[in-house]
Copies of this chain bind each other. A is one copy, B any other.
Amino acid sequence: MDGALYLGVDGGGTGCRARLEDAAGTVLGQGIAGPAATRFGIEASWQAIETAARHAIAEAGLDAAQVGCIRAGVGVAGIGRKGARAALEAIRHPYASIAFTSDAMIACLGAHGGRDGGIVIVGTGTCAIGRIGGREMKFGGYGFPISDEGSGAYLGLRALQHSLRAHDGREGGSVLTRELMARFQDDPAEVVLWMDRSTATDYATFAPLVLRQADQGDAVARQVVQDGAEHVNGLVRALLAEGAPRVSLIGGLASAMEAWLAPDVRRRLSPTLGDAVTGALALAGRR
């Protein structure tokens, strides 16, 4: 265990993962913890990062001197919030160094082996992130409903809008619209009640149904997914136009959505080389 030690932490909105490696990439220890998103407060965010890191360090059996040699890289969800980055950088830590960036940026670094490139995240939300020639860039991802076109939340909202119109008889229905309304006992009043307490995550729960029906040829589902895919095309093209040497699609809906993208866009996508924790290790300085 001589030489440099690297700690990578993926501090996401649903959980935090840490991995400790040596310069050769041998995994020495791993740890997990709860959400590290800054919207729960900087204190809670750092608690999650520290907990995941402590478990990884304990598994590796490091002493204090060795901990002092660790170079850490951490991606944090919501680091763009006002003052969040400065607050995190001001926290005392036991490592040789620590570098912070967004959880999306470490996913980008991981996807491209620490080198330049871009990613389009297609999950509950959508967002394009890139690092090209030292410049960092971001397109979309401002949140639902003002942004995140083509995301799971977006597909779910569009499908519900069509379902209500079809229920009224204002447009033609389909298997999708009938199946969606059946989840609300065919009662628009139930949809209204549901909406009053629903977030982007709730809307996104309908996305797998929409994508499945689209795959089976349902006319309404195809229309919703094709419109969403057009927005994802736009996000990929924005990165390519900036000169991204590689662009990867990631996120829970990436593989399902990829089939709907324009042929020229699909052809120019690259497979991911590593995960977000790998990206955090690259941020920490591991080559």
Q: Within the assembled complex, what's the spacing in Å between the Cα atoms of A169 and B195?
A: 32
Residues of chain B contacted by A142 (CB below 8 angstroms): 164, 188, 191-192, 195
Q: Which of A149, A170, A171 has the most CB of B within 10 A?
A: A170
Residues of chain B contacted by A82 (CB below 8 angstroms): 189
Can you sample 11 A-B contacts with CB below 8 Å?
Answer: A80-B189, A139-B168, A140-B164, A142-B164, A143-B195, A146-B161, A146-B192, A146-B195, A169-B238, A170-B235, A171-B234
The answer to whether B143 and A192 have CB atoms under 8 Å apart is yes
Known: A139-B168, A140-B170, A168-B139. A146 touches B238 (CB 8 A): no
Residues of chain B contacted by A146 (CB below 8 angstroms): 157, 160-161, 164, 191-192, 195
- Per assembly, the copies of the chain total 2
For residue A178, CB closer than 8 A to chain B, the reply is: no
Residues of chain B contacted by A157 (CB below 8 angstroms): 145-146
Q: Within the assembled complex, what's the spacing in Å between the Cα atoms of A205 and B74?
A: 41
Whole-angstrom distance from the CB of A166 to the nearest CB of chain B? 12
Q: Within the assembled complex, what's the spacing in Å between the Cα atoms of A285 and B215?
A: 56
Which residues 182-205 of A have a CB within 8 angstroms of B? 188-189, 191-192, 195
